[in-house]
């Protein structure tokens, strides 16, 4: 959401959307210990919930013992002792209901707070990660880790304490059973060793399946995400069948893993639940014989039956908790893979805060190579040197793949140069505080991203506190004000996801207005007017010269209409600057420059013909 005020909603304080705690950074610890700082931040809630749970547990265990005395006292008639025991049973029932309800409420409240904190921690870290992380990570996989995996952990935190209480109940009941009758207690626990062995085998079989299921769920999410975001490409190439087949393959892989996990549960869960029932049968058989022989009372037999039920509870929950704990462990490891990835681009300790830059941008013998994740190891920039003076408008021109967009990314420090130095006002950008650098150097990309919020909030994304007059001024420079004003709801119009209800040119001009509103010292347009009509582009150039007087502008372009806006043209090829001058000078002296522009125009013409043939919603150049 670009605006802190939201779409007509109340204002949200920045500290309300930032996690106050973090996970334990020690990667040698287990996943539960690493999450403990989040839980301990709510220790009062945890302590009160635990206290309620212990009281509920004590009352639950006390009921059969009191009932045993009441049943045995009933043979003497309804006397004072029996009346007292009945009242005590009523009090215990009320206490059990109140404390048990409070315990469950507080438990689920705690699990939801952990869920919320963990989501904020993951989102905060994702916002800090560098572009290189997103270059090698699929959005569907990231979304799966930030949602489904966190949900798995929340479910475990909601139900695992119940198993803990059930285990405590088991030991209390076991102690009372030993106090009442030792041989009968040993009979009741005869199946426990078998249950332990079966439970261990179940856990060992289910753990690897949990990893596989989580990974293949992310694979399905990635396919769906790509098809939703790329639906226009899919439809324009009539590739629906192929994409459905791709999803079907991913779904079948997930189905196999899920079906295998169901098979494992079907093999082990019935046995885990049957063992306590077998124990109950043995207790009734042996206890009945003891009762007939007069060695135990009917009240004792009743109490043992109630305690056997309590002994069964951990076994009944064990299968579900083991399954969920293995899934949560796999989910936690997937989340930690993200959280343990350090941001490659950070502000250096003691970084300089640049309030307002003069706009002098310098590249000094810069070399840069993208990582090996699907990219060539050939240097994109190799000895690239360039200086742009304050207030100058420069066009950067070159063939495809020569590193023009990389220059923009290095200027805003989306990546760090492998060699050489990028400077702003003589300061190495690596020595500047990131936020202040990016307030002064703003990049408008060729593929504009718009949020599903009002157009006013889209334009004011970089300055949520901007007034409507300031938003309109930026929109006028970008030549989009008249278009927005003529919409039924004007600047309050909510655009569709990614702004696809607008034409390509309209989206680019909204993105340009967004880049202009903060009034950056250096504005970089990375082919950001490629879908705009040439006449409108000329008007934008004229408005930029007036509205950004004294501001530095770098135009990364291939269209003559864009290049004509520049005071100077920099021709780059092979990762370095090969010529500089006016457009007319380069046309007269650089044959290669002429060829690159001709090739670019030919590709643009071919692209326009392709758009027309595909019928992409009449989203060509917008007036």
- pLDDT tens readout for residues 143-177: 778 888 888 888 888 888 877 787 788 888 888 88
- Range of 196-200, 431-435, 600-604 with top mean pLDDT: 431-435
Two structure tokens written together for 69: 């005395």
Per-residue pLDDT for 384 more than 60? yes
pLDDT of 182 higher than 60: yes
Tracing tokens 């999803």 back to the chain, one arrives at 247
Q: Rounded distance, CA 110 to CA 114, Å?
A: 6
Q: What's the rounded mean pLDDT across residues 470-490? A: 91
Q: Which pLDDT score is estimated for 228?
A: 67
**How much is the pLDDT for 253?**
85
Q: Which residue has the higher pLDDT, 112 or 197?
A: 112
DSSP 387: E
Q: What is the mean pLDDT of residues 296-320?
A: 75
Angle at 453 between CA 450 and CA 455, to 5 degrees: 70
Beta-carbon-side half-sphere exposure of residue 41 (alpha carbons within 13 Å): 16
- Average pLDDT (499-524) is 88
- Pair of tokens at residue 317: 């929950």
> Which residues, in sequence order, are bridge partners of residue 443?
524
Please name every residue paired with 423 in a beta bridge, in sequence order, or none if there are none.
362, 428
Which among 215-219, 354-358, 364-368 has the top mean pLDDT? Answer: 364-368
Phi, psi angles (nearest 5°) of residue 501? -80, -10
**In terms of pLDDT, which residue wins out, 456 or 499?**
456
Which of 97-111, 204-218, 245-259, 319-333 is the least confident region?
204-218
Q: Which positions ≥6 away from 604 have C-beta within 8 Å?
A: 530, 558, 559
* 148-152, 246-250, 473-477: which is most confident: 473-477
Q: How much is the average pLDDT of 263-284?
A: 78
pLDDT of 511 above 80: yes
Handedness of CA 113, 119, 122, 127 (dihedral sign): negative
State mean pLDDT over 178-201: 79
Determine the pLDDT at residue 135.
80
* Confidence band, pLDDT 50/70/90 cuts, at residue 407: very high
**Which uninterrupted H or E stretch holds 554?**
strand 552-556
DSSP letters for 142-182: HHHIIIIIHHHHHHHHHHHHHHHHHHHHHHHHHHHHHHH-H
pLDDT at 181 exceeding the cut of 70: yes
Question: What is the model's pLDDT at position 572?
Answer: 93
**Res. 469: pLDDT tops 80:** yes
Helix (H, G, I), strand (E, B) or coil at 382: strand
* Least confident residue range of 4-8, 435-439, 572-576: 4-8
pLDDT at 46 over 80: yes
pLDDT at 210 over 80: no
Q: Give the side-chain half-sphere CA count within 13 A for 31.
A: 19
Question: Can you tell me the mean pLDDT for 487-495?
Answer: 88
- Residue 4: how many other CB atoms lie within 10 Å: 16
Read off the pLDDT band of 568 (50, 70, 90): very high
Predicted confidence at residue 151, as pLDDT, reads 85
Q: Is 10 a residue whose pLDDT tops 50?
A: no
Neighbours of 281 (CB within 10 A): 11
Q: What percent of the chain has pLDDT above 90?
A: 22
The pLDDT score that the predictor gives to residue 617 is 41
For the segment(s) 361-613, the CATH number from 3.40.190.10, 3.40.920.10, 3.40.50.300, 3.40.50.150 is 3.40.50.300
Q: How far apart are the first and last CA of the chain?
A: 28
CATH class label, 31-339: mainly alpha
Quick one: which of 522, 533, 517, 532 has its CA closest to 477? Answer: 517
Contact predicate 390/550, CB 8 Å: yes
pLDDT score, position 615: 42
Look at residue 498 and give its three-state secondary structure. helix
Residue 614 has pLDDT above 70, yes or no: no
pLDDT of residue 388: 94
Handedness of CA 156, 158, 161, 165 (dihedral sign): negative
Percentage of the chain exceeding pLDDT 70: 87
Least confidently predicted of 313-317, 322-326, 378-382, 560-564: 313-317
Position with higher pLDDT, 620 vs 161: 161
Task: Give the C-alpha separation, 348 to 341, whole Å.
Answer: 18
Predicted local distance difference test score (pLDDT) of residue 494: 86
pLDDT at 498: 66
The larger pLDDT score, comparing residue 549 to residue 368, is at 368
Is residue 115 predicted with pLDDT exceeding 50?
yes
Residue 584: alpha-carbon gap to chain centroid: 50
Which residue, among 290, 424, 444, has the nearest Cα to 353 in the 3D structure?
424
Quickly state the pLDDT bin for 304 (edges 50, 70, 90). confident
| CA 36 – CA 54 distance, rounded (Å) | 21
pLDDT score of 302 more than 70: yes
Domain positions in the chain: 31-339, 361-613
How many residues appear in the chain?
Answer: 623
Q: Per residue in 89-102, pLDDT tens?
A: 889 889 988 998 89
Q: For 400-457, give the DSSP string.
A: TTSSHHHHHHHHTTSS--SEEEEEETTEEGGGB-HHHHHHHEEEE-SS----SSBHHH
Confidence of residue 456 (pLDDT cuts 50, 70, 90): very high
Q: Answer whether residue 127 shows pLDDT above 80.
A: yes
User: Is 428's pLDDT higher than 90?
Assistant: yes
Residue 424 forms beta bridges with which residues? 361, 427
Residue 577 has pLDDT above 90, yes or no: yes
CB 328 within 8 A of CB 152: yes
- Give residue 13's pLDDT band: very low, low, confident or very high (50, 70, 90): very low
Q: What is the mean pLDDT of residues 11-36?
A: 70
Q: 295 in helix, strand or coil? A: coil
Residue 421 Cα distances to 348, 431, 440, angstroms: 15, 11, 18
Q: What is the mean pLDDT of the chain?
A: 81
Categorize the per-residue pLDDT at 609 as very low, low, confident or very high, splitting at 50, 70 and 90.
low
């Amino acid at each position: 959401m670009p605006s802190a005020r939201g779409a007509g909603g109340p204002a949200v304080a920045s500290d309300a959307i930032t996690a106050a705690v973090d996970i334990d950074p020690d990667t040698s610890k287990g996943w539960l210990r690493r999450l403990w700082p989040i839980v301990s931040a709510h220790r009062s809630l945890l302590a009160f919930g635990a206290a309620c749970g212990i009281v509920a547990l004590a009352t639950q265990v006390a009921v059969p013992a009191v009932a045993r005395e009441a049943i045995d006292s009933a043979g003497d008639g309804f006397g004072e002792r029996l009346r007292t025991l009945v009242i005590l049973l009523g009090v215990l029932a009320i206490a059990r209901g109140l404390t048990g309800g409070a315990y469950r409420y507080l438990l689920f409240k705690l699990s939801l707070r952990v869920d919320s904190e963990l989501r904020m921690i993951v989102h905060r870290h994702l916002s800090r990660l560098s572009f290189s992380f997103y270059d090698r990570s699929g959005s569907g996989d990231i979304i799966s880790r930030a949602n489904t995996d966190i949900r798995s952990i929340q479910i475990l935190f909601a139900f695992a304490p119940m198993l803990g209480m059930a285990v405590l109940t088991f030991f209390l009941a076991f102690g009372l059973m030993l106090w009442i009758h030792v041989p009968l207690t040993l009979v009741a626990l005869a199946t426990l060793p078998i249950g332990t062995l079966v439970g261990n085998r179940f856990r060992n079989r289910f753990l690897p399946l949990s990893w596989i299921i989580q990974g293949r769920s992310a694979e399905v999410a990635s396919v769906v995400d790509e098809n939703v975001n790329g639906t226009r490409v899919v439809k324009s190439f009539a590739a629906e069948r192929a994409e459905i087949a791709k999803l079907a393959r991913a779904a079948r892989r997930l189905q196999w893993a899920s079906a295998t996990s169901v098979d494992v549960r079907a093999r082990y869960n019935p046995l885990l639940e049957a063992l306590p029932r077998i124990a109950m049968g043995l207790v009734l058989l042996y206890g009945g014989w003891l009762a007939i022989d007069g060695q135990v009372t009917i009240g004792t037999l009743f109490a043992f039956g109630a305690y056997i039920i309590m002994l069964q509870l951990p076994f009944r929950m064990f299968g579900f908790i083991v399954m969920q704990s293995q899934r949560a462990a796999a989910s936690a490891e997937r989340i930690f893979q993200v959280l343990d990835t350090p941001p490659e681009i950070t502000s250096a300790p003691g970084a300089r805060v640049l309030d307002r830059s003069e706009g002098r941008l310098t590249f000094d013998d810069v070399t840069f190579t993208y990582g090996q994740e699907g990219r060539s190891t050939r240097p994109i920039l190799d000895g690239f040197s360039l200086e742009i003076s304050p207030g100058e408008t420069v066009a950067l021109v070159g063939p495809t793949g020569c590193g023009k967009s990389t220059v923009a990314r290095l200027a805003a420090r989306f990546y760090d140069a492998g060699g050489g130095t990028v400077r702003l006002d003589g300061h190495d950008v690596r020595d500047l505080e990131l936020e202040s650098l990016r307030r002064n150097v703003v990049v408008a990309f060729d593929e504009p991203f718009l949020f599903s919020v009002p157009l006013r909030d889209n334009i004011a994304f970089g300055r949520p506190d901007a007034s409507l007059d300031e938003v309109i001024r930026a929109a006028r420079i970008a030549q989009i004000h008249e278009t927005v004003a003529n919409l039924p709801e004007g600047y309050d119009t909510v655009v569709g996801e990614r702004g696809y209800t607008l034409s390509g040119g309209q989206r680019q001009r909204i993105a340009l207005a967004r880049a202009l509103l903060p009034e950056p010292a250096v504005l970089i347009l990375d082919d950001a007017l490629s879908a705009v009509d040439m006449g409108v582009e000329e008007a934008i150039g004229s408005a930029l010269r007036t509205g950004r007087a004294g501001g530095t502008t770098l135009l990364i372009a291939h269209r003559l209409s864009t290049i004509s806006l520049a005071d100077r043209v920099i021709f780059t090829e092979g990762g370095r600057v090969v010529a500089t001058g006016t457009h007319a000078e380069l046309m007269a002296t650089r044959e290669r420059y002429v060829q690159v522009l001709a090739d670019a125009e030919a590709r643009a013409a071919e692209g326009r013909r392709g758009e027309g043939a595909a019928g992409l919603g009449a989203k060509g150049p917008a007036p």
